[in-house]
């Protein structure tokens, strides 16, 4: 897949088939995430892979997007390691770049995925459930699966609306 094509055709996928996701594909997504840029190359990202169905169901109860997690085959919780951080804004920017790389990798592998942020309202409960220390700050949960046959659409502001000026 051409890189620009991948960027333009990736969509948030919220409906999945029952087909499990290959472990190799999950690792590939994480590997792509770790090739994101980070300030001072400090690589502050950490990951938890969740495949266990009972655990996915428990995780799903912590967000109003319950159905998406229930229907997904795997999730990856993305964390920032607070001990590895050196600058709030820059470390969070790095995590955003990491997550975008992961979504694009999923797309390139023929998987569907969606970045779930609402679940951050229950970060403490997610950490308890996954038995992860408070030194790890939850940044997102990515729900992953094989896309069900539904057309996902999205739109963007016209480019002329977002360019403030050209000098």
Ligand X SMILES: Cc1cc2nc3c(=O)[nH]c(=O)nc-3n(C[C@H](O)[C@H](O)[C@H](O)COP(=O)(O)O)c2cc1C
Please report, as ranges, the residues that interact with ligand X according to CB under 6 A: 11-12, 14, 65, 114-118, 152, 154
Run of H or E residues at 89: helix 88-108
Q: Give the residue at shortest CB distance from ligand X.
A: 117
Compute the least distance from the CB of residue 153 to ligand X, in Å.
8
By beta-carbon proximity to ligand X, the closer residue of 99 and 133 is 99
By beta-carbon proximity to ligand X, the closer residue of 84 and 152 is 152
**136-158 b/e (C-beta count within 10 Å ≥ 16 → b):** bbbbbbbbbbbbeeeeeeeeeee
DSSP at 149: S
By beta-carbon proximity to ligand X, the closer residue of 39 and 117 is 117
Compute the least distance from the CB of residue 118 to ligand X, in Å.
3
Compute the least distance from the CB of residue 161 to ligand X, in Å.
16
Residue 109 has phi, psi (to 5 degrees) of -85, 0
By beta-carbon proximity to ligand X, the closer residue of 5 and 167 is 5
* Rounded Cα distance, 162 and 165, in Å: 9
Compute the least distance from the CB of residue 67 to ligand X, in Å.
10
Tallying the residues shown for the chain, one arrives at 167
């Amino acid at each position: 897949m051409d890189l620009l094509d991948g960027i333009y055709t990736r969509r948030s996928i919220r409906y999945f088939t029952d087909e499990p996701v290959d472990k190799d594909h999950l690792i590939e997504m994480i590997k792509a995430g770790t090739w994101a840029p980070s300030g001072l190359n400090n690589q502050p990202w950490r990951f938890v892979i969740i495949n266990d169905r009972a655990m996915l169901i428990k995780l799903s109860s912590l967000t109003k997007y319950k159905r998406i997690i229930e229907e997904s085959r795997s999730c990856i919780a993305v964390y920032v390691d607070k001990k590895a951080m050196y600058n709030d804004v820059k470390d969070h920017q790095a995590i955003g770049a990491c997550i975008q790389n992961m979504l694009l990798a999923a797309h390139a592998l023929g998987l569907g995925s969606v970045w779930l942020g609402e679940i951050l309202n229950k970060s403490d409960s997610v950490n308890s459930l996954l038995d992860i220390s408070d030194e790890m700050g939850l940044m997102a949960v990515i729900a992953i699966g094989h896309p069900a046959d539904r057309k996902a659409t999205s739109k963007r502001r016209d480019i002329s609306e977002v360019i403030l000026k050209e000098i």
